[in-house]
Structure 1
C-alpha cells in the first residue's frame, strides 16, 4: 500500500466465512466463539491474516452505543 492508496477494510464475516469454507473443504472442522460471542475471535483471525477488522456492522458496538445513549438520555433528560 502506498500513501496515495486508502487502507482497505473488509467485513470480518466475509473473510472468516471464506477461511472456514476452505478449512472445511480440506476436511477440517473449524469452530469459532465456542465460549461466547464470535466477533472478537473472528477479528483476531483477521489480524493474524494481516487484515484490519472493520468495526462497521459490529452488532456489539451498536448495542454498546444504544446502551450509552440510553444512559445519557436518562441522565440529562430524566427519561426512564
Structure 2
C-alpha cells in the first residue's frame, strides 16, 4: 500500500499578505505595501520570499488587461463596440 500523495494546497495570496501585515502591526510595526503604486508586485515578492508562487488570478491588473484584450478582439472579429 503506497502512502497517499498529498494534494497541493492553494491559498488566496492576499490572505497570506494580510496575515503577515496583521502580525507586523501586532508587533507595533506599520508596514506599507505598494506606497509607490500598485501593491501587486511587492505583494508577489513577499509571497515568493515565503516560498509561495503567486498566481495571476489574484492580480486585478492582469484580469483588466485580459478583459480589455478580449473586448478588442470581439470588436475586431464581430464588429462589437
TM-score for both structures, normalised by structure 2: 0.82
Instruction: Give the structure 2 partner of residue 16 of structure 1.
Output: 17
Instruction: Give the structure 1 partner of residue 62 of structure 2.
Output: 61
Instruction: Give the structure 2 partner of residue 47 of structure 1.
Output: 48
Contact 2:13-2:58 at 8 Å conserved across structures? no
Contact 1:9-1:52 at 8 Å conserved across structures? no
TM-score for both structures, normalised by structure 1: 0.83
CA-based RMSD: 1.7
Distance 1:54 1:37 in 2: 16
Runs of 4+ that moved beyond 3 A: none
Give aligned pairs, total: 78
Greater Rg over alpha carbons, structure: 2
Question: Is there any run of 5+ residues in structure 2 with no aligned partner, and where?
Answer: none
Larger RCO (CA within 8 A; separation ≥ 6): 1
User: Deviation at 1:57?
Assistant: 3.6
User: Deviation at 1:68?
Assistant: 0.8
